[in-house]
Amino acid sequence: MQKHFIYLFFILLLVQCTKPESVEPTEDNGFIVPKGFPAPLYNFSENPYSNVKRELGRKLFYDAKLSRDNTISCGSCHQQSAAFTHAGHRVSHGIDNLLGTRNSPTLFNLAWQPLFFWDGGVGDLDLFHINPIQNPVEMDETVSNVLTKLNTDSNYPSMFKEAFGTTDITSLRLFQALSIFMISLESYQSKYDDFLQGNKNALSATEKAGLSLFESKCATCHTGVLFTDFSFRNNGLPLTSDLGRFRVSALASDSFKFKVPSLRNVEKSGPYMHDGRFVTLDEVLNHYSSGVVKSTSTLDTILQRNSQLGIALTADEKTKIIAFLKTLTDNKFLNDKRFSEF
């Protein structure tokens, strides 16, 4: 009897500890929760997803009417071929060719992000859009002026009616439409995802070796299917005047900390770091292996273990890690016509 009880106990323990199978991608009028992804953080109850709202958001995203002189759109600094960052630009280029101070962040899988911008200054995607519209070195426009332009446009009233039920064009509806389009920018169909779903031949031997190295040396911060823990860290870059997360929190412990970005599509989204200082992935790994500096006490503890700064990486290991990182490129996402301007 005791043996049977012990056997039953272990069976129940095995059932409880076995990971449940990931659900297949689910679609709700166009929005997909990919297999293996966590539940989205975005509050769809306040802004339900719909394809017509996404199409309205797409038109707005690529419309230069959102800027003061009608020359700059969201798509100017967030280009699809570069995973919706500003291809080849260290920092954003805005109105009158003015330069920003930070690299344009990539835009994908935003439904899972708790905070936005490099310093996490915005915690609600529906409020995200105010910043670039009103920023004097980006679009340099007022929301009220944007609404006036949209209301006098021959196409927008009917599009807002189709998306929201009436022709009223308000700031909330403007922001919600933009949010839905940006939320639709989902990346989950890379070579690595194919491997993750069971195709063990999807990756080469070198790429698999790179994955193993990545998991042991990089995945503390760039973790899970989203390839980020969304934390803010000081990664040992030489200091500039940009105080990072401190500008939001006013905590000395947040000085020179910036958000850990996702590494999906990283092959296509350079330059790298919050200020775009590195042009290539080789330069990024060289920084972590031999370029980390401890200029302040906020340097991440991960980068100062065993009395050594950085992450020990050989030339061969860097080559293999970069080979793996390139498997995160999602060409379907980068070429999806639903997200393009035309």
Q: Is 224 left (phi over 0), alpha (psi -120 to 50) or beta?
A: left
Regarding whether 181 and 43 lie in a shared domain, the answer is yes
- Residue-level pLDDT at 143: 98
Separation of alpha carbons 34 and 116, rounded Å:
22
Domain that holds residue 105: 39-186
Separation of alpha carbons 161 and 180, rounded Å:
16
Q: Is residue 224 part of a domain?
A: yes
Average pLDDT, the chain: 92
Q: Which of 132, 155, 186 is the last residue of a domain?
A: 186
Regarding whether 82 and 158 lie in a shared domain, the answer is yes
Regarding whether 90 and 214 lie in a shared domain, the answer is no
Regarding whether 231 and 93 lie in a shared domain, the answer is no
Regarding whether 124 and 215 lie in a shared domain, the answer is no
Q: Which of 186, 211, 238 is the last residue of a domain?
A: 186
Separation of alpha carbons 65 and 51, rounded Å:
22
Number of domains in the chain: 2
Can you spell out the DSSP letters for 103-152? PPPP-SSGGG-SSBSTT--BS-HHHHTHHHHH-TTTT---HHHHHHHHHT
Q: Is residue 78 part of a domain?
A: yes
Alpha-carbon distances of 126 from 5, 18, 80, 170, 248, rounded to whole Å: 55, 38, 21, 13, 18
Range list of H helices, 184-229: 191-196, 205-217
Regarding whether 175 and 71 lie in a shared domain, the answer is yes
Q: Is residue 25 part of a domain?
A: no
Q: Is residue 1 part of a domain?
A: no
Q: Pick the more confident residue, 3 or 208.
A: 208
Separation of alpha carbons 324 and 333, rounded Å:
18
pLDDT tens digits along 255-304: 999 999 999 999 999 999 999 999 999 999 999 999 999 999 999 999 99
Judging by beta carbons within 10 Å of its beta carbon (0-12, 13-18, 19+), is residue 252 exposed, middle or buried?
A: exposed
pLDDT tens digits along 301-335: 999 998 899 999 999 999 999 999 999 999 999 99
What is the share, in percent, of the chain residues with pLDDT greater than 90? Answer: 90
The answer to whether 232 and 245 have CB atoms below 8 angstroms apart is yes
Residues in contact with 38: Cβ distance below 8 Å, sequence separation at least 6, in sequence order: 112, 224
Regarding whether 301 and 248 lie in a shared domain, the answer is yes
- Residue-level pLDDT at 6: 34
Residue 47's domain is classified under what CATH number?
1.10.760.10
Regarding whether 271 and 147 lie in a shared domain, the answer is no
Q: Is residue 182 part of a domain?
A: yes
Q: Which of 141, 158, 186 is the last residue of a domain?
A: 186
Confidence grade of residue 137 (pLDDT, cut at 50, 70, 90): very high
Q: Is 214 helix (H, G, I), strand (E, B) or coil?
A: helix
68-73 average pLDDT score: 98
Q: Is residue 134 part of a domain?
A: yes
Regarding whether 200 and 318 lie in a shared domain, the answer is yes
- Any idea how long the chain is? 342
Alpha-carbon distances of 62 from 56, 174, 185, 340, rounded to whole Å: 10, 13, 14, 9
